[in-house]
Structure 1
Amino acid sequence: MDPIILLDYAGVAVFAATGALAASRKQLDIIGFLFLAGFTGIGGGTIRDLVLGVPVFWVQNHDYIVVCAAMAILVYAGAHLIESRYKLLLWLDAIGLAAYCVFGAWKGLVVTGSGVVAVVMGMLTATFGGILRDQIAGEPSVLMRPEIYVTAAMAGALTFTVLHIAGLPLMLSAGPAFLVAFLIRGGALRFGWSFPPYRSRPGRHPEDIP
Protein backbone atom coordinates (compact mmCIF):
# COMPACT_ATOMS: atom_id res chain seq x y z
CA MET A 1 0.00 0.00 0.00
CA ASP A 2 1.23 3.50 -0.86
CA PRO A 3 2.46 5.16 2.37
CA ILE A 4 0.37 8.29 1.70
CA ILE A 5 -2.76 6.12 1.66
CA LEU A 6 -1.78 4.86 5.11
CA LEU A 7 -2.13 8.45 6.32
CA ASP A 8 -5.68 8.44 4.98
CA TYR A 9 -6.53 5.24 6.84
CA ALA A 10 -4.81 6.56 9.96
CA GLY A 11 -6.79 9.78 9.83
CA VAL A 12 -10.07 7.92 9.41
CA ALA A 13 -9.27 5.43 12.19
CA VAL A 14 -8.16 8.02 14.71
CA PHE A 15 -11.06 10.37 14.04
CA ALA A 16 -13.46 7.41 14.24
CA ALA A 17 -12.00 6.61 17.65
CA THR A 18 -12.63 10.17 18.82
CA GLY A 19 -16.24 9.90 17.65
CA ALA A 20 -16.66 6.66 19.58
CA LEU A 21 -15.09 8.26 22.66
CA ALA A 22 -17.60 11.09 22.40
CA ALA A 23 -20.35 8.45 22.25
CA SER A 24 -18.96 6.80 25.37
CA ARG A 25 -19.03 10.09 27.25
CA LYS A 26 -22.71 10.46 26.33
CA GLN A 27 -23.38 6.80 27.30
CA LEU A 28 -24.91 5.92 23.94
CA ASP A 29 -25.67 2.41 22.72
CA ILE A 30 -23.59 0.53 20.15
CA ILE A 31 -25.53 2.08 17.26
CA GLY A 32 -24.68 5.52 18.61
CA PHE A 33 -21.02 4.48 18.75
CA LEU A 34 -21.12 3.26 15.15
CA PHE A 35 -22.87 6.40 13.93
CA LEU A 36 -20.56 8.89 15.65
CA ALA A 37 -17.44 6.93 14.75
CA GLY A 38 -18.47 6.71 11.10
CA PHE A 39 -19.63 10.30 10.88
CA THR A 40 -16.43 11.62 12.44
CA GLY A 41 -14.10 9.29 10.57
CA ILE A 42 -15.35 10.05 7.07
CA GLY A 43 -16.85 13.53 7.56
CA GLY A 44 -13.87 15.70 6.64
CA GLY A 45 -12.86 13.55 3.68
CA THR A 46 -16.42 13.48 2.37
CA ILE A 47 -16.66 17.28 2.31
CA ARG A 48 -13.21 17.46 0.68
CA ASP A 49 -14.16 15.10 -2.14
CA LEU A 50 -17.49 16.84 -2.74
CA VAL A 51 -15.75 20.22 -2.97
CA LEU A 52 -13.11 18.81 -5.31
CA GLY A 53 -15.77 17.17 -7.45
CA VAL A 54 -14.22 13.70 -7.29
CA PRO A 55 -15.82 10.36 -6.29
CA VAL A 56 -16.28 10.20 -2.52
CA PHE A 57 -13.52 7.99 -1.15
CA TRP A 58 -15.58 5.69 1.06
CA VAL A 59 -18.13 5.08 -1.70
CA GLN A 60 -15.33 3.78 -3.91
CA ASN A 61 -13.72 1.76 -1.13
CA HIS A 62 -15.94 0.48 1.67
CA ASP A 63 -12.91 -0.58 3.73
CA TYR A 64 -13.05 2.87 5.31
CA ILE A 65 -16.50 2.09 6.72
CA VAL A 66 -15.14 -1.19 8.10
CA VAL A 67 -12.30 0.72 9.79
CA CYS A 68 -14.79 3.10 11.41
CA ALA A 69 -16.96 0.22 12.62
CA ALA A 70 -13.94 -1.62 14.03
CA MET A 71 -12.84 1.46 15.97
CA ALA A 72 -16.37 1.95 17.30
CA ILE A 73 -16.51 -1.64 18.59
CA LEU A 74 -13.01 -1.40 20.06
CA VAL A 75 -13.83 1.78 21.98
CA TYR A 76 -17.21 0.39 23.05
CA ALA A 77 -15.41 -2.58 24.60
CA GLY A 78 -12.59 -0.66 26.25
CA ALA A 79 -13.58 2.96 26.88
CA HIS A 80 -14.41 2.23 30.54
CA LEU A 81 -10.73 1.42 31.16
CA ILE A 82 -9.64 4.97 30.24
CA GLU A 83 -9.39 7.44 33.11
CA SER A 84 -9.84 10.66 31.12
CA ARG A 85 -11.68 10.02 27.88
CA TYR A 86 -11.97 13.69 26.95
CA LYS A 87 -8.22 14.20 27.26
CA LEU A 88 -7.61 11.13 25.10
CA LEU A 89 -10.18 12.42 22.61
CA LEU A 90 -8.25 15.69 22.26
CA TRP A 91 -4.88 13.97 21.77
CA LEU A 92 -6.25 11.48 19.26
CA ASP A 93 -7.89 14.40 17.49
CA ALA A 94 -4.44 16.02 17.29
CA ILE A 95 -2.99 12.89 15.65
CA GLY A 96 -5.90 12.68 13.23
CA LEU A 97 -5.56 16.36 12.40
CA ALA A 98 -1.86 15.93 11.60
CA ALA A 99 -2.44 12.91 9.39
CA TYR A 100 -5.46 14.30 7.60
CA CYS A 101 -4.08 17.78 6.88
CA VAL A 102 -1.23 16.13 4.97
CA PHE A 103 -3.43 13.72 3.04
CA GLY A 104 -6.00 16.42 2.28
CA ALA A 105 -3.28 18.73 0.96
CA TRP A 106 -1.85 15.93 -1.19
CA LYS A 107 -5.23 15.10 -2.68
CA GLY A 108 -6.01 18.76 -3.32
CA LEU A 109 -2.66 19.16 -5.08
CA VAL A 110 -3.12 16.00 -7.16
CA VAL A 111 -6.63 16.94 -8.28
CA THR A 112 -6.15 20.66 -8.96
CA GLY A 113 -2.41 21.34 -9.12
CA SER A 114 -3.02 24.48 -7.02
CA GLY A 115 -0.97 25.07 -3.89
CA VAL A 116 -3.65 27.36 -2.46
CA VAL A 117 -6.38 24.76 -2.97
CA ALA A 118 -4.10 22.10 -1.47
CA VAL A 119 -3.68 24.07 1.76
CA VAL A 120 -7.42 24.74 2.01
CA MET A 121 -8.24 21.08 1.38
CA GLY A 122 -5.76 20.03 4.04
CA MET A 123 -7.36 22.36 6.57
CA LEU A 124 -10.89 21.29 5.64
CA THR A 125 -10.12 17.58 5.74
CA ALA A 126 -8.34 17.82 9.08
CA THR A 127 -10.86 19.90 11.00
CA PHE A 128 -14.36 19.30 9.65
CA GLY A 129 -14.86 15.82 11.09
CA GLY A 130 -13.96 16.93 14.61
CA ILE A 131 -16.20 19.98 14.37
CA LEU A 132 -19.15 17.85 13.22
CA ARG A 133 -18.45 15.31 15.99
CA ASP A 134 -18.62 17.94 18.70
CA GLN A 135 -21.78 19.50 17.30
CA ILE A 136 -23.63 16.18 17.08
CA ALA A 137 -22.38 14.87 20.44
CA GLY A 138 -22.94 18.13 22.27
CA GLU A 139 -19.30 18.29 23.31
CA PRO A 140 -17.39 21.57 23.74
CA SER A 141 -16.30 22.38 20.20
CA VAL A 142 -12.58 22.01 19.54
CA LEU A 143 -12.95 25.00 17.23
CA MET A 144 -14.13 27.20 20.11
CA ARG A 145 -11.41 26.17 22.56
CA PRO A 146 -8.79 28.88 23.14
CA GLU A 147 -5.84 26.74 22.04
CA ILE A 148 -4.55 26.79 18.47
CA TYR A 149 -6.44 24.31 16.29
CA VAL A 150 -7.11 25.28 12.68
CA THR A 151 -3.72 26.99 12.51
CA ALA A 152 -2.01 23.66 13.22
CA ALA A 153 -3.80 22.07 10.26
CA MET A 154 -2.92 25.05 8.06
CA ALA A 155 0.76 24.86 9.07
CA GLY A 156 0.93 21.15 8.30
CA ALA A 157 -0.85 21.49 4.97
CA LEU A 158 1.33 24.47 4.02
CA THR A 159 4.52 22.64 4.97
CA PHE A 160 3.60 19.64 2.84
CA THR A 161 2.55 21.76 -0.12
CA VAL A 162 5.70 23.90 -0.12
CA LEU A 163 8.04 20.92 0.26
CA HIS A 164 6.28 18.84 -2.38
CA ILE A 165 6.09 21.66 -4.92
CA ALA A 166 9.80 22.30 -4.25
CA GLY A 167 10.49 18.78 -5.52
CA LEU A 168 10.92 16.67 -2.39
CA PRO A 169 9.68 13.07 -2.62
CA LEU A 170 6.19 12.44 -1.32
CA MET A 171 7.03 10.97 2.08
CA LEU A 172 9.91 13.40 2.69
CA SER A 173 7.28 16.12 2.33
CA ALA A 174 4.63 14.29 4.34
CA GLY A 175 6.78 13.37 7.37
CA PRO A 176 7.88 16.90 8.35
CA ALA A 177 4.38 18.24 7.62
CA PHE A 178 2.82 15.68 9.97
CA LEU A 179 5.29 16.61 12.69
CA VAL A 180 4.70 20.34 12.25
CA ALA A 181 0.94 19.96 12.60
CA PHE A 182 1.13 17.56 15.54
CA LEU A 183 3.75 19.54 17.44
CA ILE A 184 1.79 22.77 17.08
CA ARG A 185 -1.50 21.19 18.13
CA GLY A 186 0.20 19.10 20.83
CA GLY A 187 1.99 22.16 22.17
CA ALA A 188 -1.30 24.03 22.22
CA LEU A 189 -2.90 21.23 24.27
CA ARG A 190 0.09 20.85 26.61
CA PHE A 191 1.05 24.48 27.09
CA GLY A 192 -2.12 26.34 26.13
CA TRP A 193 -0.66 28.09 23.09
CA SER A 194 -3.17 30.51 21.63
CA PHE A 195 -3.45 33.77 19.75
CA PRO A 196 -4.50 36.95 21.57
CA PRO A 197 -8.32 37.02 21.70
CA TYR A 198 -10.47 39.86 20.44
CA ARG A 199 -10.78 42.36 23.31
CA SER A 200 -12.94 45.17 21.96
CA ARG A 201 -16.41 45.79 23.31
CA PRO A 202 -18.92 43.07 22.42
CA GLY A 203 -21.51 43.57 19.73
CA ARG A 204 -24.92 44.95 20.69
CA HIS A 205 -28.04 42.84 20.93
CA PRO A 206 -30.39 43.30 17.95
CA GLU A 207 -33.04 44.86 20.19
CA ASP A 208 -30.58 47.58 21.27
CA ILE A 209 -29.94 48.75 17.71
CA PRO A 210 -32.11 51.73 16.76
Structure 2
Amino acid sequence: MSGAFAAMQKRFDPFGVLIIAFVTSVGGGTVRDVLLDVPVFWMRHMMMVSAIFGGTLLAFLVKYFEKSFNVTLFIFDSLGLGLFTIIGIQKGLNADLHPIICLTLGTITGCFGGIIRDIFLNRIPLIFRKEIYATACIVGGSLFLLMVKFSNLSYVFVQISTIALIVIIRTLAVKYHWQMPKFYDRSSNSEM
Protein backbone atom coordinates (compact mmCIF):
# COMPACT_ATOMS: atom_id res chain seq x y z
CA MET A 1 0.00 0.00 0.00
CA SER A 2 2.85 2.41 0.67
CA GLY A 3 4.02 2.00 -2.93
CA ALA A 4 0.49 2.54 -4.23
CA PHE A 5 0.06 5.69 -2.13
CA ALA A 6 3.42 7.06 -3.29
CA ALA A 7 2.47 6.44 -6.95
CA MET A 8 -0.92 8.11 -6.45
CA GLN A 9 0.82 11.17 -5.00
CA LYS A 10 2.73 11.37 -8.30
CA ARG A 11 -0.61 11.00 -10.19
CA PHE A 12 0.27 7.71 -11.88
CA ASP A 13 -2.50 5.90 -13.76
CA PRO A 14 -3.92 2.68 -12.19
CA PHE A 15 -1.45 0.44 -14.04
CA GLY A 16 1.46 2.61 -12.90
CA VAL A 17 0.16 2.51 -9.33
CA LEU A 18 0.01 -1.30 -9.50
CA ILE A 19 3.58 -1.53 -10.85
CA ILE A 20 4.94 0.76 -8.13
CA ALA A 21 2.99 -1.18 -5.46
CA PHE A 22 4.42 -4.42 -6.85
CA VAL A 23 8.08 -3.36 -6.92
CA THR A 24 7.78 -1.77 -3.48
CA SER A 25 6.34 -4.98 -2.06
CA VAL A 26 8.67 -7.51 -3.63
CA GLY A 27 11.79 -5.53 -4.60
CA GLY A 28 13.78 -6.15 -1.42
CA GLY A 29 12.78 -9.80 -1.17
CA THR A 30 13.64 -10.36 -4.81
CA VAL A 31 17.14 -8.93 -4.31
CA ARG A 32 17.51 -11.06 -1.17
CA ASP A 33 16.46 -14.27 -2.93
CA VAL A 34 18.77 -13.59 -5.87
CA LEU A 35 21.65 -13.12 -3.40
CA LEU A 36 20.71 -16.36 -1.63
CA ASP A 37 20.43 -18.13 -5.00
CA VAL A 38 16.98 -19.49 -4.14
CA PRO A 39 13.75 -19.30 -6.15
CA VAL A 40 12.27 -15.81 -5.96
CA PHE A 41 9.48 -16.06 -3.38
CA TRP A 42 6.67 -14.29 -5.21
CA MET A 43 7.06 -16.41 -8.33
CA ARG A 44 6.08 -19.52 -6.38
CA HIS A 45 3.32 -18.12 -4.19
CA MET A 46 0.39 -16.53 -6.00
CA MET A 47 -0.96 -15.48 -2.61
CA MET A 48 1.70 -12.74 -2.55
CA VAL A 49 0.67 -11.44 -5.97
CA SER A 50 -2.99 -11.56 -4.91
CA ALA A 51 -2.16 -9.64 -1.72
CA ILE A 52 -0.43 -6.93 -3.77
CA PHE A 53 -3.48 -6.60 -6.05
CA GLY A 54 -5.74 -6.49 -2.99
CA GLY A 55 -3.57 -3.93 -1.22
CA THR A 56 -3.52 -1.76 -4.32
CA LEU A 57 -7.31 -1.88 -4.59
CA LEU A 58 -7.59 -1.03 -0.90
CA ALA A 59 -5.23 1.91 -1.46
CA PHE A 60 -7.54 3.19 -4.21
CA LEU A 61 -10.50 2.96 -1.81
CA VAL A 62 -8.61 4.72 0.99
CA LYS A 63 -7.63 7.49 -1.43
CA TYR A 64 -11.27 7.93 -2.44
CA PHE A 65 -12.27 8.59 1.17
CA GLU A 66 -9.12 10.33 2.40
CA LYS A 67 -7.53 12.99 0.22
CA SER A 68 -4.35 13.49 2.25
CA PHE A 69 -2.76 10.20 3.20
CA ASN A 70 0.77 11.07 4.27
CA VAL A 71 0.21 9.57 7.72
CA THR A 72 -1.32 6.43 6.21
CA LEU A 73 1.64 6.12 3.83
CA PHE A 74 4.08 6.52 6.72
CA ILE A 75 2.32 3.89 8.87
CA PHE A 76 2.23 1.27 6.13
CA ASP A 77 5.81 2.00 5.11
CA SER A 78 7.05 1.68 8.70
CA LEU A 79 5.14 -1.56 9.35
CA GLY A 80 6.43 -2.98 6.07
CA LEU A 81 9.97 -1.98 6.97
CA GLY A 82 9.77 -3.85 10.27
CA LEU A 83 8.04 -6.92 8.86
CA PHE A 84 10.30 -7.27 5.83
CA THR A 85 13.42 -6.82 7.97
CA ILE A 86 12.41 -9.75 10.15
CA ILE A 87 11.51 -11.90 7.14
CA GLY A 88 14.93 -11.23 5.58
CA ILE A 89 16.76 -12.10 8.79
CA GLN A 90 14.75 -15.30 9.16
CA LYS A 91 15.64 -16.34 5.59
CA GLY A 92 19.32 -15.85 6.43
CA LEU A 93 18.98 -17.84 9.65
CA ASN A 94 17.21 -20.63 7.76
CA ALA A 95 20.19 -20.74 5.37
CA ASP A 96 22.59 -21.04 8.38
CA LEU A 97 24.37 -17.80 7.52
CA HIS A 98 26.44 -15.67 9.89
CA PRO A 99 24.31 -13.24 11.97
CA ILE A 100 25.93 -10.21 10.26
CA ILE A 101 24.91 -11.58 6.86
CA CYS A 102 21.42 -12.27 8.22
CA LEU A 103 21.22 -8.67 9.42
CA THR A 104 22.37 -7.47 6.00
CA LEU A 105 19.72 -9.60 4.29
CA GLY A 106 17.09 -8.18 6.64
CA THR A 107 18.14 -4.63 5.83
CA ILE A 108 18.13 -5.38 2.11
CA THR A 109 14.69 -6.97 2.34
CA GLY A 110 13.34 -4.03 4.32
CA CYS A 111 14.89 -1.21 2.32
CA PHE A 112 15.38 -2.18 -1.32
CA GLY A 113 11.69 -2.14 -2.28
CA GLY A 114 11.58 1.50 -1.18
CA ILE A 115 14.78 2.26 -3.07
CA ILE A 116 13.37 0.79 -6.27
CA ARG A 117 10.06 2.63 -5.68
CA ASP A 118 11.81 5.97 -5.28
CA ILE A 119 13.95 5.40 -8.38
CA PHE A 120 10.84 4.59 -10.42
CA LEU A 121 9.18 7.74 -9.01
CA ASN A 122 12.21 9.77 -10.11
CA ARG A 123 13.27 10.88 -6.65
CA ILE A 124 16.36 10.32 -4.56
CA PRO A 125 15.66 7.24 -2.43
CA LEU A 126 14.55 8.11 1.08
CA ILE A 127 17.24 5.88 2.58
CA PHE A 128 19.96 8.03 0.97
CA ARG A 129 18.76 11.45 1.96
CA LYS A 130 17.20 12.31 5.26
CA GLU A 131 15.38 9.81 7.42
CA ILE A 132 16.69 7.17 9.77
CA TYR A 133 15.62 4.15 7.73
CA ALA A 134 18.28 1.46 7.35
CA THR A 135 19.52 2.30 10.85
CA ALA A 136 16.11 1.32 12.24
CA CYS A 137 16.43 -2.04 10.44
CA ILE A 138 19.92 -2.60 11.83
CA VAL A 139 18.98 -1.72 15.43
CA GLY A 140 15.74 -3.71 15.35
CA GLY A 141 17.36 -6.61 13.53
CA SER A 142 20.22 -6.72 16.03
CA LEU A 143 17.75 -6.88 18.89
CA PHE A 144 15.89 -9.66 17.07
CA LEU A 145 19.06 -11.72 16.66
CA LEU A 146 20.06 -11.19 20.30
CA MET A 147 16.59 -12.13 21.58
CA VAL A 148 16.44 -15.24 19.39
CA LYS A 149 19.87 -16.37 20.58
CA PHE A 150 19.79 -15.44 24.27
CA SER A 151 16.18 -15.24 25.45
CA ASN A 152 13.50 -17.79 26.20
CA LEU A 153 10.72 -15.51 24.97
CA SER A 154 8.24 -16.82 22.45
CA TYR A 155 9.27 -16.38 18.84
CA VAL A 156 6.08 -14.49 18.02
CA PHE A 157 6.73 -12.04 20.87
CA VAL A 158 10.29 -11.50 19.61
CA GLN A 159 9.00 -10.83 16.10
CA ILE A 160 6.28 -8.41 17.21
CA SER A 161 8.53 -6.53 19.63
CA THR A 162 11.21 -6.16 16.94
CA ILE A 163 8.73 -4.82 14.39
CA ALA A 164 7.40 -2.43 17.04
CA LEU A 165 10.93 -1.22 17.83
CA ILE A 166 11.62 -0.51 14.14
CA VAL A 167 8.34 1.41 13.82
CA ILE A 168 9.09 3.37 17.01
CA ILE A 169 12.61 4.28 15.86
CA ARG A 170 11.29 5.47 12.49
CA THR A 171 8.45 7.43 14.11
CA LEU A 172 10.73 9.15 16.61
CA ALA A 173 13.30 9.87 13.90
CA VAL A 174 10.68 11.60 11.74
CA LYS A 175 9.02 13.41 14.65
CA TYR A 176 12.27 14.74 16.10
CA HIS A 177 14.11 15.09 12.76
CA TRP A 178 16.86 12.63 13.64
CA GLN A 179 19.33 12.21 10.83
CA MET A 180 22.58 10.47 10.17
CA PRO A 181 25.57 12.82 10.25
CA LYS A 182 26.34 14.49 6.93
CA PHE A 183 29.92 14.62 5.73
CA TYR A 184 29.67 17.68 3.54
CA ASP A 185 29.24 21.39 3.95
CA ARG A 186 25.49 22.12 4.26
CA SER A 187 25.89 25.55 2.65
CA SER A 188 27.50 24.09 -0.47
CA ASN A 189 25.17 23.44 -3.40
CA SER A 190 27.78 21.85 -5.64
CA GLU A 191 27.87 18.11 -6.21
CA MET A 192 30.95 15.98 -6.65
Asked if Structure 1 and Structure 2 have the same fold, meaning a TM-score greater than 0.5 normalized by the shorter chain, the answer is yes
Query: What 5-or-longer segments of structure 1 have no aligned partner?
Result: 1-16
Aligned equivalent of 2:127, options 143, 152, 155: 143
Residue number among 108, 111, 116 corresponding to 1:132 in the alignment: 116
Matched, 1:21 2:5: yes
Separation (CA, whole Å) in 1 of partners of 2:55 and 2:69: 15
Q: What is the root-mean-square deviation in Å for CA atoms of aligned residues?
A: 2.2
Q: Distance in 2 between matches of 1:52 and 1:140?
A: 27
Q: Does 1:38 align with 2:22?
A: yes
Deviations 1:145-178 (A, max 9, x none): 3221110011111111121122544223212211
| Other-structure match for 1:184 | 169
Indicate the larger mover: 78-87 or 159-168: 78-87
Q: Which amino acid aligns with 1:170?
A: Y
C-alpha displacement of 1:191: 1.6
User: Gaps (5+ residues) in structure 2?
Assistant: none
1:188 aligned counterpart, secondary structure: helix
Q: Separation in 1 of the partners of 2:184 and 2:7?
A: 35
Share of identical aligned residues, percent?
A: 29
1:1-210 pair list within 5 angstroms: 17-139=1-123, 141-166=125-150, 168=152, 169-199=154-184
| 1:77 maps to amino acid | L
- TM-score normalized with structure 1 length: 0.81
Deviation at 1:200, TM superposition (A): 5.2
2:40 and 2:81 map into 1 onto residues whose CA distance is: 19
